[in-house]
Structure 1
């Protein structure tokens, strides 16, 4: 099995490397129905989540929680970063921590993963183009030695259904697809991953919205209609609730991160305030 296929089977998603240039700036994590491992190969990462801020060399984050926006990192120059998207089951296997105890603010990854310091040293010695492959291989090695996941397969499958459906599938239909009642599904997901299907659907829909915005669109009203929001105001409310910002403010922040990539950004309207 080739490396990319092995990673997918093990629950390792996108792996990316980057290094910010220019003055420090805020970067908001995108809403996802997955977990993350973020490693700095330079200065510690400043993580802001809710009303708290801390500095860590590496952080492993869990699922978002209602009432708190996505975490934000302060990107600084000379701070090479490695980002890994992990499935909930892979995260639980690597850390040994129940997913209900890991929110999107995350935990110090070096405390949970004693081997990560050595891997970080290996990564720092490599050219940026070779870091992704090494990170994938090291994660596969440690997952191969980890125990079986202690995560409800019903919750895992429900998250998959919600994610694939971009948050548009009604809770009753999600429950039917995983062979549970809606009430039992809410109980199982709450216990296993710390969130229910309704909130997970909001996260998945906003994630789909951000992908659509990155592709270019005529307006935020067009995106709202395509992503099954009631209207543009509904989309803006989800931005504010889940990311603590507005669509236009998010574009202004992340537009500086396109690095020469040409995109047609949606027009700003009076709703986006």
Structure 2
């Protein structure tokens, strides 16, 4: 069975300049009404605010935390979405909680105490473009950042850049380069992304494999994405995706479940 990913349907939207310090990406997905089509959701190292509008006109705003393993689902209602993917390190400032509190969860936006949570009602009552325009006007006025917050974000950004490079350093090498302890770095990743540095690196490496899967032999992919060998790639792939690489490419995937959305 052929599974889609949401990324295959997403269209990038222009992020207003005032929101760029807080968002890595802004995308929209048109109303998808094929309820028989299953979706694959690979692990994701990002906290995402989702504005979901069903074909009936009902709108909901919720937050999806970092996802540590893949899931497979089938939509229960025709719906379109706007997704606001948050910059690493800004979850507490925008949502009022550490990213780790959202990992592997989907939570209603209006249940969160941060500035974005207070806008949930307006965001569900406005069309998508107007909702983004509303945030453009209102959100920056509600945000503040201390020197410590800014310094933590800089360290986190530098660590992410290093861990997503082809020649990613080991954790001891990275902490020495950044002049922080392993405990400090782990705390920054947990609060700012919702994952440990090691799990973050695993997910990013897996997503590179998924981007090139089917275009070259698995042994070449393993060497080019930083795995020790093909067997290590296969084991990590199975752990994170729930199936071996070859089965994934053949479409032999777990049976889809209904989308889990907060009520």
TM-score normalised by length of structure 2: 0.70
Contact 2:91 2:98 in 1 (8 A): no
SS across alignment from 1:97: coil
Shift in CA distance, 240/58, structure 1 to aligned 2, threshold 3 Å: farther
Shift in CA distance, 173/16, structure 1 to aligned 2, threshold 3 Å: farther
1:80-137 CA-partner distances (Å, limit 9, x unpaired): 22222112333322211122211132312243324334323322xxxxxxx4x54543
User: Could you tell me which residue of structure 1 aligns to residue 157 of structure 2?
Assistant: 157
Superposed, 1:1-273 pairs within 5 Å as 3=15, 5-42=17-54, 57-65=60-68, 69-76=69-76, 78-112=78-112, 113-123=117-127, 131=128, 133-148=129-144, 152-153=152-153, 156-162=156-162, 164-165=164-165, 168-190=168-190, 193-213=193-213, 217-251=215-249, 252=251
Shift in CA distance, 115/204, structure 1 to aligned 2, threshold 3 Å: same
Report the RMSD for the aligned CA atoms in angstroms: 3.4
Name stretches of at least 5 consecutive residues in structure 1 with no aligned partner.
Answer: 45-55, 124-130, 255-273
For 2:179 and 2:110, the matched residues in 1 are separated by: 38
Q: Which deviates further from its counterpart, 154-163 or 15-24?
A: 154-163
Structure 1 segments (4+ residues) deviating >6 Å: none
Contact 2:28 2:80 in 1 (8 A): no
Contact 1:224 1:231 in 2 (8 A): yes
Contact 1:24 1:76 in 2 (8 A): no
Contact 2:88 2:153 in 1 (8 A): no
Return the offset for 1:180: 0.9
Shift in CA distance, 12/195, structure 1 to aligned 2, threshold 3 Å: closer
SS across alignment from 1:83: strand
For 2:131 and 2:244, the matched residues in 1 are separated by: 34
For 1:196 and 1:167, the matched residues in 2 are separated by: 19
Number of equivalenced pairs:
229
For 1:72 and 1:57, the matched residues in 2 are separated by: 21
Return the offset for 1:41: 0.3
Contact 1:162 1:201 in 2 (8 A): no
For 1:86 and 1:3, the matched residues in 2 are separated by: 12
